[in-house]
Amino acid sequence: MTVQTPEPTADVTIFYADWCPFCAKLIKNLDRTETPYALVDVEGDNTDDINAWIESVNDGNRIIPTVLYSDGTHETNPPASSVRNKQKELAES
């Protein structure tokens, strides 16, 4: 079964849930430096495809935050510094 990568809506798209402390920490740290990103709640309606993608890039596990970049690469539970560096790289290209 082929899983379709979600279409990014920004250079940085964060797949998160309100209850996730790791998500909250990443978002707080990115907000502190005014790093732009888009958020996608994995608990919302019509998220089966998104959750299937998250599982497909995390060895079958639904791990959040999973971050998708506009160049098609992704990271799982990355530090904010990594996301900032990648966002800067994407904004310059």
User: For residues 3 and 53, is the Cβ–Cβ distance under 8 A?
Assistant: yes
pLDDT per residue over 11-59, tens digit each? 999 999 999 999 999 999 999 999 999 999 999 888 999 999 999 999 9
Q: Is the dihedral of CA 71, 75, 78, 82 positive or negative?
A: negative
pLDDT per residue over 59-74, tens digit each? 999 999 999 999 999 9
Domains contained in the chain, CATH given: 12-92 (3.40.30.10)
Fill in the amino acid letter for 93.
S
User: What is the distance between the terminal CA atoms of the chain, rounded to a whole angstrom?
Assistant: 33
Pick the closest to residue 54 from 45, 46, 64 (CA basis): 64
Instruction: List Cβ neighbours of 77 (8 Å cut-off, separation of 6 or more).
Output: 22, 26, 63, 64, 65, 66
pLDDT for res 1: 62
